[in-house]
Copies of this chain bind each other. A is one copy, B any other.
């Protein structure tokens, strides 16, 4: 079945424009890059033709000649997690205004995929890489992976959120100490003294840090640390539900629970409600990430907002500045914000 009418049109090139304008390709290039000096009349003529043919310079050719594509590779654990989706969109917007394109990859928690994605980035000759979650957040880094990332940092800037020891990465971190401070102070101000933590694996650096700070704050307020109030687990709904089931079996049930993220918090909340307790009157609940879920549940969930827009700008800004040879500090912090909602504030629950 032939389709004569649907003939593929060859993409028009800088030479086509040059020929018709009666100038050289170099001149067209100068018009494109804007900065060089071209006689106004010629510039006009060329620009008119560019419009006329809807000419768009070939990014491949451009990338080939300056040995890098203007693409920033972003690797996240899983974009189906709203936390990463928020960050991705923030990065996309930031990259767009800097004239870069972003390439998203999901590592899906598999080291083999992570390695493969690195190769793919290499093939695409990306300008910089941003990585969040996955390997970079493990407390003990995988030697092979560190090696691969190191090789990458020799060629391009790599920006990570999370620790990746032994590499020359730039770090943009959420100030998780500060986040824990905000939550704990909020709860302690409300009179809570029996505060539990639910979910999170301690071999993940961000979760580990949260626990450290939690202990520190208890000490500052001269509140005894109770090991039975720290329930390790995963990062999903189930983890929260299971954690709460165990907490409800404690001799003294906690009066407040901080979950590792909003999904986990939801599990905690459902467990509480199933047992007939009220939130926040009997038990207050708070989460992390301030995803859409926080305002979808009942009561609305107090959560830590990660300032995605700012975060995205800093990630991409760091990458771009480094690519273009500017000075950027190796490590930067984003200050989180506490979003107080009905799950910790009884008087606000009449929403």
A-to-B contact residues, CB < 8 Å: 1, 6-9, 11, 54, 56-61, 63-64, 67, 69, 78-80, 82, 85-86, 88-89, 92, 101-106, 108, 119-120, 122-125, 151, 154-155, 168, 237, 263, 266, 270, 273-274, 292-293, 295-296, 298, 327
Contacts and interface: CB of A to CB of B under 8 A. Distances in A.
A6 to B, nearest CB: 7
B59 A295 contact: no
Given A59-B123, A119-B56, A80 B69 contact: no
Contacts of A54: 151
Contacts of A78: 89
A119 B296 CA distance: 36
Nearest to A82: B80
- Nearest 6 interchain pairs by C-beta: A60-B63, A80-B85, A59-B123, A60-B64, A56-B122, A56-B123
Contacts of A59: 123-125
Contacts of A295: 237
A295 B240 CA distance: 14
30 contacts: A7-B154, A8-B154, A9-B155, A56-B119, A56-B122, A56-B123, A57-B123, A58-B123, A58-B125, A59-B125, A60-B60, A60-B63, A60-B124, A60-B125, A61-B64, A64-B64, A78-B89, A79-B79, A79-B88, A80-B86, A89-B108, A101-B103, A101-B124, A102-B104, A237-B292, A237-B296, A263-B292, A270-B298, A293-B293, A293-B296
Nearest to A65: B60
Given A120-B101, A237-B296, A125 B11 contact: yes
A8 B322 CA distance: 13
Given A80-B85, A237-B292, A274-B298, 13 more contacts: A1-B327, A7-B154, A9-B154, A11-B67, A11-B125, A54-B151, A56-B119, A58-B125, A60-B64, A103-B103, A263-B296, A273-B298, A293-B293
A33 B9 CA distance: 27
A92 to B, nearest CB: 6
A92 B105 contact: yes
A85 B122 CA distance: 25
Contacts of A292: 80, 237, 263
Given A296-B266, A298-B270, A79 B85 contact: yes
